[in-house]
C-alpha cells in the first residue's frame, strides 16, 4: 500500500491473537486495534498530502530558480550591450563625436535602468526562494515534532503498563501479556 511503513490499517484489522485462559478482552483488543488503524490511516493520508505539497513547493522553487537564471542572463546581455555601445561610440568619427556621446550616454542610461530593474527582480526572486525554503523547513520541523510526540505517548503507555503489571505482581495476580512494539512500530505479544 505505502512504501514507507511496513504496517497498514488493513494489517491491524486482520491481525488475530491467540485466546488463552484469562487472556485479553477480545472486544477491547478489537476496539484498540480499530483505533490504531484509524490513526494510521489518518497519518498515512497526511503524509501523502504533505508529500504532494512538498513536490509542489519544489516545483515552485525550480521555477523561481529558472527565472533567476534568466534574469542573470539578461544582466549579462545588458552589460555586453553596454560594452558594445561604448566601443562603438569610441570608434565614431571626430565630426560626430558630440552627437555620438550624447546618444551613447542615453543608451547607457537605459541599459543601467534595465540593469537596475533586473537586479531588483533578482533580489525579489531570491527573497521568495528564501521564504519558500523557510516554509518547507518549518513544515518538516513540525512533522518531526509530531513524530516525537507520538513516540513520547507510546513510552507513557509502556510505563503505565509496567506500573499496572508491578501492582498485579505484588498482589499475587497473574500478569497479562505485554503488547510490545519494536523500533519499526510493529506490534507483538510478549510473555515477559
Convert 8-42 to b/e letters by CB count within 10 Å (16 or more is b). ebebbeeeeeeeeeeebeeeeeeeebeebbeebee
**Helix-helix angle 97-170:26-91, to 10 degrees:** 170
Please tell me the predicted confidence (pLDDT) of residue 34.
Answer: 86
Please tell me the predicted confidence (pLDDT) of residue 186.
Answer: 55
Q: Greater confidence, 2 or 131?
A: 131
Query: Which percentage of the chain shows pLDDT scores above 70?
Result: 81
C-alpha gyration radius of the chain:
34
* Distance separating alpha carbons of residues 165 and 54, to the nearest angstrom: 44
Amino acid at each position: 500500500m505505502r512504501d514507507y511503513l511496513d504496517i497498514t490499517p488493513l494489517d491491524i484489522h486482520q491481525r488475530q491473537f491467540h485466546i488463552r485462559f484469562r487472556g485479553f478482552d477480545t472486544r477491547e483488543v478489537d476496539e484498540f486495534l480499530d483505533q490504531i488503524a484509524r490513526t494510521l490511516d489518518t497519518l498515512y493520508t497526511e503524509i501523502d498530502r504533505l508529500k504532494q505539497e512538498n513536490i509542489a513547493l519544489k516545483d515552485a522553487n525550480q521555477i523561481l530558480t529558472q527565472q533567476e537564471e534568466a534574469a542573470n542572463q539578461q544582466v549579462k546581455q545588458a552589460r555586453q550591450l553596454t560594452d558594445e555601445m561604448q566601443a562603438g561610440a569610441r570608434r565614431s568619427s571626430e565630426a560626430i563625436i558630440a552627437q555620438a556621446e550624447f546618444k551613447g550616454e542615453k543608451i547607457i542610461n537605459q541599459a543601467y535602468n534595465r540593469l537596475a530593474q533586473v537586479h531588483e527582480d533578482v533580489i525579489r526572486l531570491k527573497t521568495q526562494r528564501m521564504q519558500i525554503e523557510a516554509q518547507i523547513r518549518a513544515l518538516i520541523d513540525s512533522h518531526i515534532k509530531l513524530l516525537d510526540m507520538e513516540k513520547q505517548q507510546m513510552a507513557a503507555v509502556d510505563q503505565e503498563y509496567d506500573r499496572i503489571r508491578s501492582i498485579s505482581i505484588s498482589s499475587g495476580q497473574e500478569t497479562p501479556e505485554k503488547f510490545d512494539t519494536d523500533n519499526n512500530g510493529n506490534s507483538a505479544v510478549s510473555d515477559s
